[in-house]
Amino acid sequence: MAIPSIDISSADNYPKPDGIKFGYGTAGFRYNANILSSTVFRVGVLAALRSRYLGGKVIGVMITASHNPPPDNGAKIVDPAGDMLEEAWETYATDLANAATSQDLADRVNELIKNLNIDISTPANVIYARDSRESGPALVKALEAGLKAAHDAKSTDYGLLTTPQLHYLVKSLNTLKSANSYGVPTEEGYYKKLANAYKKVLSGSEPYSITIDAANGIGAPKVSELVKHLEGTIDMTLINGKYEDPSLLNSSCGADYVKTNQRLPGGLDADVPKLKLFCSFDGDADRIVFFYIDEDGKFRLLDGDKIATLAASFLKDLVQETNSGLNIGVVQTAYANGSSTEYLESVLKVPVVCTPTGVKHLHHAAQQFDIGVYFEANGHGTVLFHPDAVAKLQTFQVSSPAQKAAIDTLLALSDLVNQTVGDALSDLLLVLAILTIKRWNPADWNQSYTDLPNRLLKAEVRDRTMFKVTNAERTLVEPPLLQSQIDNLVQKYSQGRSFVRASGTENVVRIYAEAVTQTLADELGVKVSHLLEAYK
């Protein structure tokens, strides 16, 4: 039987800009919004094909550029389980985004339909949402045009959401009325699930006090909504909550700013109380980092590594209490501070896996454990509870009240964390729950290990695609000789470590350096970045 082709002549309204090669990067397409509409149209077409290919499962599309500055935007596709798009399909996305003309695009689409044997009469189902960027509404129009062109895919606009909320909805819709239903597939259902789990974990405890820097992004109204459902179990103050003014997004505030600059975000008084807990979200609230001012008045960062170690240590104690034999592992990237890895392996005795940057890589590695904790140092991460591990806990024959309490807490935590992707709101509650139970202030949390001083820098180069890496991004294979030049520098520094990799979200190359003192880490970072001047 001949496979019917589809007509996407409306792509003419969204011509591809000349001279640009689009790539599906670390977290989807991410560019200046002015050049993105052709790509977003094609993302609509591909999302509809992906849904049909999977028999009509719900696929998500998020219009966001997360931590990037206000003029940027992006699009990423969410797979039915709420995780990131399967890697083979990233290649198809890049291929469609680079079709030069509408005819070329139609040919590539029809070829994909043929090669993958996609039945285009299968109803497609795509849901989408956007962050608070000014360019969002226009890009949503381009997406809708792409969905319509792809044989009128059924689609639902969820308006303004955080990225993790869209991931939650995709998974909840696909598991609706099934034995492993993930949650009620509404925004309200999301808040209720998190709030109920938090209240269960912390019944009767004093509310923890926290000030949240929402990066002037969509996390601001959404965390306020969540707090209403928490009914006084959290004492929250919000700063940088002006999401209605998109020009302020991520500007001198937010998780990326605080992590990279290792300083307080704008919007705080100079006279910040000591030992009080703060946190920063990024622009679409899929990342979170915490911080405080210590007794000597020094800024202290509690980043993704500190969240991972806090969670792993707490979960390990609980698992031991259950006597269930479940295993726990932690997944990190090359950006993980050397001290955190050392602490996990030597003190907590937890296995650590290192993957390339990007939640998609960490997520898959974490699925190999009964309980997999994954966090990038930048604060992007979550905890995965393997379905078999949850089933084991649910049916476990308990022999003591302590064992039962530990099992109940673990099960409540599996509801508290958004297991589809890193989620600033859910991670916030996870951390507050642990700190409350342990009765820890931020300094107690921070004392588990001392970060090796480090520096993160960016450099603009003429073509970042020439930087090819291996060994979970810790070693450059191209350009030739650059890695040996870096190695020569690193060996001169006590506890020195440095690597260079191309960003998959910004048009820069990132440089990470670590050494025994801050002065030396800064110096190593600057020297490595000087090596990159040859590639400008």
Residues in the site for ligand G16, rule: CB under 6 A? 26-27, 66-67, 282, 286-287, 357-359, 376, 378, 380, 503-506, 510
Q: What is the DSSP string of 368-390?
A: TSSEEEEE-TTS-EEEEE-HHHH
**Which of the residues 37, 51, 66, 529 is marked catalytic?**
66
Q: Which is nearer to ligand G16, 65 or 112 (CB)?
A: 65
List own/partner pairs for 477-482 with CB under 8 A and 24 or more apart: 479/535, 482/531
3-state SS record for 341-370: HHHHHHHCCCCEEECCCCHHHHHHHHCCCC
Query: What is the C-alpha separation between 34 and 38, in angstroms, rounded?
Result: 10
Q: Is 462 labelled as part of a ligand binding site? A: no
Q: Is 377 labelled as part of a ligand binding site? A: yes
- Cβ 26 to ligand G16 shortest distance, Å: 4
Q: Which is nearer to ligand G16, 316 or 380 (CB)?
A: 380
Beta-strand pair 154-160/234-239: unpaired
Query: What is the C-alpha separation between 103 and 222, in angstroms, rounded?
Result: 42
Residue with tokens 């020297």: 527
- Find, among 239, 28, 266, 6, the residue nearest to 131 by Cα: 28
- Cβ 15 to ligand G16 shortest distance, Å: 27
Beta-strand pair 497-502/509-514: antiparallel
Q: Is 284 labelled as part of a ligand binding site? A: yes
Cβ atoms of 516 and 531 within 8 Å: the answer is no
Query: What is the C-alpha separation between 528 and 482, in angstroms, rounded?
Result: 10
Cβ atoms of 112 and 450 within 8 Å: the answer is no
Number of H helices, E strands in the chain: 17, 19
Active site annotation includes 66 = yes
Q: Which helix (H) or strand (E) holds 156?
A: strand 154-160
Residue with tokens 């029809």: 110
Q: Which is nearer to ligand G16, 67 or 527 (CB)?
A: 67
Q: Is 329 labelled as part of a ligand binding site? A: no
- Cβ 285 to ligand G16 shortest distance, Å: 9
Instruction: Point out which residues pair with 383 in neighbouring strands.
Output: 373
Query: What is the C-alpha separation between 165 and 27, in angstroms, rounded?
Result: 16
Q: Which is nearer to ligand G16, 26 or 37 (CB)?
A: 26
For 208-228, letters b (16+ CB in 10 Å) and e give bebbbbbbbbbbbbbbeebbe
Locate the DSSP E strands across 460-527.
468-470, 475-478, 497-502, 509-514
Q: Which is nearer to ligand G16, 164 or 329 (CB)?
A: 164
Using left for φ > 0, alpha for ψ between -120 and 50, and beta otherwise, residue 47 falls in alpha
Q: Is 376 labelled as part of a ligand binding site? A: yes
Query: What is the C-alpha separation between 192 and 194, in angstroms, rounded?
Result: 6
Query: What is the C-alpha separation between 291 and 264, in angstroms, rounded?
Result: 8
- Cβ 504 to ligand G16 shortest distance, Å: 3
Q: Is 503 labelled as part of a ligand binding site? A: yes
Q: Which is nearer to ligand G16, 359 or 482 (CB)?
A: 359
- Cβ 430 to ligand G16 shortest distance, Å: 18
Cβ atoms of 72 and 65 within 8 Å: the answer is yes
Q: Is 522 labelled as part of a ligand binding site? A: no
Q: Which residues are annotated as a binding site for substrate?
A: 376-378, 501-505, 510
Q: Which residues are annotated as a binding site for Mg(2+)?
A: 66, 282, 284, 286
Q: Which residues are annotated as a binding site?
A: 66, 282, 284, 286, 376-378, 501-505, 510
Catalytic residues: 66
